[in-house]
Amino acid sequence: MDKEPTTATKQRMLDAGLTLLLEQGYHGVGVQAVLDAAQAPKGSFYHHFNDKEDFALQVVDAYMTGVHAALDASLSDSSRAPLDRIRGFFELVSQGYEHDGYLGCLLGGLGQELSGASDVFATKIDWCLGYIAGRLAEPLGEARARGDLTVAEDPAVLAQRLVECWEGAALHSRLLRDPSPLPAMLDFYFRAITRVPDDG
């Protein structure tokens, strides 16, 4: 972590960028809008960031900082069963969505918008989602070792599916501006990999 200290102005711009990019997307947000929201002049923007793309990438980094924190907070709690830890992670994430008015996931949003035209973003977002899946694979492996799972698939693969499912539910949540698809999808996913389905 040999990062420079990140001045207050830069942090304000990143914070504003997080909100604005989530709501309006990359091309929907002008540099000026970030400046206005962060109460900063243009000079500061181009002092701290090479260009708009660099800015957005750093916003993604800032977003991932929060994700890391949520992952660490949830997955390390060894008093809970592995699958419960995963659930805890997504509950934290959901709380973040609530705070933003249920606009879904920044990674999904920017990924959809930019990955068709920008390899840089496609690679970055894919890496981020893959990282999350990688972290979730560990408790999934634990769960399998404990015999909690009723499916035999590689935990890494199961984790990929989980993240994909979540992103799909997050899109629906964004369209509805409503959280309901999120826990519904989690329930569906966990039932799929654990309990034998019951047709009662």
Partner DNA sequence: TGACGCCTAGACCGTATGGTCTAGACCACT
Partner DNA sequence: AGTGGTCTAGACCATACGGTCTAGGCGTCA
Binding site for DNA (CB under 7 A): 4, 7-10, 27, 29-33, 40-44, 46-48, 51-53
Which residue ranges make up the site for a copy of itself (CB under 8 A)?
Answer: 22-28, 103-104, 108-109, 111-117, 122, 125-126, 129, 147, 149-152, 157, 160-161, 163-169, 171-172, 174-177, 181, 184-185, 188-189, 191-193, 196-200
CB 165 within 8 A of CB 189: yes
**CA nearest neighbour of 33 among 19, 48, 51, 47:** 19
Nearest-angstrom CA–CA distance, 135 and 29: 32
- Pick between residue 22 and residue 60 the one whose CB is nearest to a copy of itself: 22
Contacts of 142 (CB under 8 A, 6+ apart): 82
- Pick between residue 46 and residue 131 the one whose CB is nearest to DNA: 46
Residue 116 C-beta: closest distance to DNA, Å: 15
Residue 34 C-beta: closest distance to DNA, Å: 8
Q: Identify the three-state secondary structure at position 108.
A: helix
CB 97 within 8 A of CB 103: yes
42 binds, among DNA, a copy of itself, none (CB under 5 to 8 A by kind): DNA
